Homo-oligomer: A and B are copies of this chain.
Amino acid sequence: MADELVQVPAREARAVRVASGGRFRVIDVEGGQVVDLFAFAADDVGEYASAEHTRIWVNRLFPRVGEAFVTNRRRPILWLERDDSPGVHDMLCAACDPTRYRLLGVGGWHASCQENLQGAMAALGHDRVEIPQPINLFMNIPVRDGGELGWEPAPTRAGDSVTLRAETDCIVVVSACPQDIVPINHNNPTPIAVELL
């Protein structure tokens, strides 16, 4: 079977089902684009990839290649198998949401990773899910002296990617972050793609 490529238009999200052992590549198609990635256990979406449990599991702010993301029940759910990007990722920042954009001064509706997640999960019959802290691939949030956070543009180039492997059957939601007020996406949200390997 040919590999399947799921195109995720700028500012949108897609959900993909990945079976235990399945591998997938998240691709920054044009470069400079943040991906908010969420992973839920397929048989119980109350179990999901958890930033605060993963930090303890790997003893660092973000896993290295060969390490796992674990769930809120401390079970590996995704393995970071390969990183063909500058290796700059974030697991400190909440998904953007309608309130975030209102607070940033946006008047009307603005697409957000939270609504993207909710829409993608609702389409699979999960109308109400907890909103986990996302795995923010390619997001450049340096931790400066004294714990101050920076908001820097994603350093990726076109075609950069991260390859993940599922430890368990899961639903992965991938959102092409619509943030265009702070410069994490160079103020120009672009598409991403997910290649199921």
Contacts and interface: CB of A to CB of B under 8 A. Distances in A.
Interface stretch (A11-19, A49-57, A165-173): A49-57
Interface string A88-106: 0000111001011001000
A74 B61 contact: no
Contacts of A147: 60-62, 143
Nearest to A63: B147
Interface residues of A, number: 28
Interface string A36-51: 0000000000000011
B94 A143 contact: no
Nearest to A75: B99
A62 B97 CA distance: 21
Interface string A159-187: 00000000000000000000000000000
A52 B92 contact: yes
A103 B74 contact: yes
Contacts of A146: 60
A122 interface: no
A133 interface: yes
Contacts of A143: 61, 143, 147
A73 interface: yes
A127 to B, nearest CB: 14
Contacts of A61: 92, 143, 147, 149
23 contacts: A51-B52, A51-B133, A52-B92, A52-B93, A55-B92, A55-B93, A55-B94, A55-B149, A56-B93, A56-B94, A56-B100, A60-B148, A61-B92, A61-B143, A62-B147, A72-B131, A73-B99, A74-B97, A74-B100, A74-B103, A130-B130, A133-B133, A143-B147
